[in-house]
Structure 1
Amino acid sequence: MTPADPLTPERILEATEDVLRRYGPAKATVVDVARALGVSHGSVYRHFRTKAALREAVTARWLTRTEVTLTEIISASTEPAPSKLRHWLATLFESKRHKAGDDPELFATYIVLTGESTVVEEHVRELVGQLREIIEEGVRSGQFAVDDAAVAAQAVFDATARFHDPAYAAEWQNPAIGAEFTAVSDLLLRGLRA
């Protein structure tokens, strides 16, 4: 490592992803991460106090990427709420599907890491909160008719679990999955409409 490349948490997290991809979560160590960065493992521990903290941070980073993309749909889109909701759901599905298909080794690693992590609960709360925002917008505009946007948001999230929960990843390559996603989305949107 040269002075031009300071050791930052972001560099450590990038290296950790590479190490996890290469060795898997059971065999990857902080020493492997340090070796990949050309530093001592003590240097890594200065940024992340424990191996668990490092794994938690890399999991949070992975989940946050999806959250940021979905937040942009809410904040930048001028679509009416029903279209925005369909766009949001489709983007979540495609994001998860690409993560599973484009980098299966790292995806399998994250399945293990998310099982150990508390950040998954925060991630789910964030996603359900985003859904609530869209549903509230639809209620305000008279496009959705629901009594409790928070309950409706949780119901939409739960009803679409097959299209975003990693437990269903094996089904995401099924040729019929796109049509099945559309059918579920159509049904949910009809149920929300005023």
Structure 2
Amino acid sequence: MSTDALTPDRILEATEEVLRRYGPAKATVVDVARALGVSHGSVYRHFRTKAALREAVTERWLERAVRELAPFADGPGPAAERLTAWLSALFAAKRRKAGADPELFATYMVLIGESSRVVAEHVDHLVGQLARIVEDGHRQGEFAAPVTDATTTARAVFDATDRFHDPAHVADWSEPDIDAAFDAVVALLLRGLRA
């Protein structure tokens, strides 16, 4: 591959494959460069350090979730339905990623542990989406006014559903009663939010 065609996106795609193949402990920038057919210096021109490359991969992975959930946050329709759909989509995406590619999911859990700033920004984006739903629900008369503000309420909803999206609970996601537990938590939240 010529270095002219080398873009940050191509490097990140190759990095995902290298991480999947070797895992986070053994994957190197040299492995990424080899997969791309370039020198490791070419990779470093786009990402100054191995840590910066790993952080960018993590950020890219988390950003996919934000984009996938955006239509529920910003779309039309009753807020309760959008909130339920948003929470359901987040839970489904997490289960799908954990089940479909467990090696890559485990790799990302390691990378997320290394990237606290990226994770904090990701959570802020997700809470922001929830806050928009809460605000719309209040404006539409569907939800009561938030006790303090929409962001605080949104954070409470996010925290209350932690079992269904935090990778620390991945073992729970395959339990036979997990869907019933999810439905019960969402129903409780909606009762608490209603006007």
Give the TM-score normalised by structure 2: 0.96
Secondary structure of the residue aligned to 2:103 is helix
Hey, what does 2:169 align to over in structure 1?
168
- Give the structure 1 partner of residue 187 of structure 2: 186
Distance in structure 2 (CA, Å) of the matches to 1:82 and 1:192: 9
In 2, the alpha carbon distance for the partners of 1:97 and 1:60 equals 19
| Deviation digits for residues 15-39 of structure 1 (CA, Å, limit 9, x no counterpart) | 0000001111010000000000010
Amino acid at match of 1:101: G
How many Å separate the matches in 2 of 1:78 and 1:154?
Answer: 22
Which whole-Å CA distance do the structure 1 matches of 2:94 and 2:77 have between them? Answer: 23
Provide the residue aligned with 1:142 in structure 2. 141
1:15-164 aligned at under 5 Å gives the runs 15-75=14-74, 77-117=75-115, 118-145=117-144, 146-147=146-147, 148-164=149-165
Deviations 1:67-118 (A, max 9, x none): 001112222x322000000000000111111111111000000100000102
TM-score by length of 1: 0.96
Off by >3 Å, runs of 4+ in structure 1: none
How far 1:62 moved relative to its partner?
A: 0.2
Q: Distance in 2 between matches of 1:153 and 1:73?
A: 14
Identity between Structure 1 and Structure 2 (%) = 68
The residue identity in structure 2 corresponding to 1:175 is P
Task: For residues 39-85 of structure 1, give each alpha carbon's deviation from its aligned partner in whole angstroms, at most 9, with x where no partner exists.
Answer: 0000000000000000000000000000001112222x322000000
| Unaligned 5+ runs, structure 1 | none
The AA in structure 2 aligned to 1:56 is E
String of CA shifts for 1:139-171, please: whole Å, max 9, x gaps. 111110122212111110000000000000111
Which sits farther off after the overlay, 7-16 or 174-183? Answer: 174-183
User: 1 CA distance for matches of 2:134 and 2:163?
Assistant: 20
| Amino acid paired to 1:41 | H
Q: How many residues align?
A: 192
Task: Provide the rounded CA distance (Å) in 2 between the counterparts of 1:72 and 1:19.
Answer: 32
| Contact 2:2-2:38 at 8 Å conserved across structures | no
CA distance, structure 1, for counterparts of residue 5 and residue 93 of structure 2:
31
Write the distance in 2 (CA, Å) between the matches of 1:28 and 1:100: 20
Alignment root-mean-square deviation, CA: 1.1
**Aligned-residue offset at 1:2:** 4.8
Q: Distance in 1 between matches of 2:168 and 2:49?
A: 28
